[in-house]
Amino acid sequence: MPRVAAIDCGTNSIRLLVADVTIREDGSQWLVDVHREMRVNRLGQGVDATHRIASESLARTKEALLAYGEMLRRTSTTTVRLCATSATRDAENRDEFFTMVREILGVDAEVITGEEEARLSFAGAVADLDPDEGPAVVADVGGGSTELVAGTWDAVAAEVAAAYSANVGCVRLTEKVLHDDPPSAAQVAEAEAFTRETLAPAFEAVDLADIQTWVAVAGTATTIAAVAMGLRSYAPEKIHLARLGLDEVRETCLRLESMPRSERAALGPMHPGRVDVIGGGSIVVRVLAEELAERAGVTELVVSEHDILDGIARECARASRAQ
């Protein structure tokens, strides 16, 4: 039973999963969480405008990495994989980030493509679904990008049919358009139009004709689900595999988009690091809901707490076993 660690460093947050992995005779894997943690580091703050990672973002990331390194030591974890996504792909000073990761964790950060990010997210997201619910489409709304990936799952392996990474996410959209508190109707309309335009190639690249199930992963979607469910605090065990009708999704997104910052911050399930960007994320999720209802006929959203972290951990275990 290998113990592995997966670290996902995105545009808005950096997350750690330490897990024990049981590999069965049929090749399927069972992950048992040892430790799961998320910190908001805003690595992508201002990257769109300056093409550089801000010094304060690097400082927040360093603090998180030091804490994660200590957790790896405490849990006796030696197999580690860190995947970095949108912000580091776009930054001129990304070598500062790479050097910091190597010095603190002793491993090299991998800057994965949007397509690889989508594949790993899909593998992690669908592992707890009944294979008969496929084909599925998984949407990963991040800080700087949104991945859309369609495929199937046979309880052993995920097979990806198509994937696309679009440059729209909660941080990128907020910084680009949503400047008022709360955003004006004109700003929301502009953000929605930009989102539809940016996602249009994804819907052309990813065939939705046979899709039965829509799964959404990552913090924007899970927070929207928690608010829709009326949770007083963030409860992963209640959120994982929760099912929401698309009318409920749309209503919750519109409510979050129109709230002033003070009201968003007062919501029990809201992480402080998501307060400023949840409105932008809600617009992306709402557009996805409307487009998927029209294009694929889906009627509900399945929210998964398992995503790219779980996909990275599974591949980490396979690589460890092969050595």
CA–CA separation, 254 and 286 (whole Å): 8
Q: Sheet containing 13-23: which strands, arranged edge to edge?
A: 29-40, 13-23, 3-9, 79-84, 110-111
Confidence of residue 159 (pLDDT cuts 50, 70, 90): confident
Residue 41 near residue 14 (C-beta atoms within 8 A): yes
Which DSSP symbol is given to 109? P
So what's the pLDDT on residue 181? 93
What are the strands of the beta sheet with 136-141, ordered from one edge?
A: 158-166, 146-153, 136-141, 213-217, 300-304, 242-245
Measured in whole angstroms, the distance separating CA 144 from the mean position of its chain's CA atoms is 10
pLDDT tens-digit series, residues 113-154: 777 877 888 888 998 898 899 899 999 898 888 989 999 988
pLDDT, mean over the chain: 90
pLDDT at 314 (0 to 100): 82
Q: How far, rounded to the nearest angstrom, does the alpha carbon of residue 222 sit from its chain's CA centroid? A: 9
pLDDT for res 1: 66
- The Cα 35–Cα 90 span in angstroms is 30
Structure pTM? Answer: 0.78
Rounded CA gap, 116 and 137, in Å?
15
Q: What are the tens digits of pLDDT across the range 24-74?
A: 665 566 788 899 998 989 888 888 788 899 999 999 999 999 999 999 999
Which domains, and CATH codes, for the chain?
A: 3-114+312-322 (3.30.420.40), 128-304 (3.30.420.150)
Does position 323 have pLDDT exceeding 60, yes or no?
Answer: no
Cβ atoms of 293 and 188 within 8 Å: the answer is no
- Of 9-18, 96-105, 186-195, least confident by mean pLDDT is 9-18
What Cα–Cα distance (Å) separates residue 292 from each residue in 25, 142, 196, 214, 289?
Answer: 37, 18, 12, 8, 5
Give the pLDDT confidence of 218-256 residue by residue, as tens digits.
889 999 999 999 999 999 999 999 999 999 999 999 999
For every residue of 156-189, DSSP letters joined together read S-EEEEEEEEES--HHHHHHHT--SSSPPHHHHH
By 3-state DSSP, what share of the chain in percent is helix, strand and coil, each rounded to 5?
Answer: 45, 25, 30
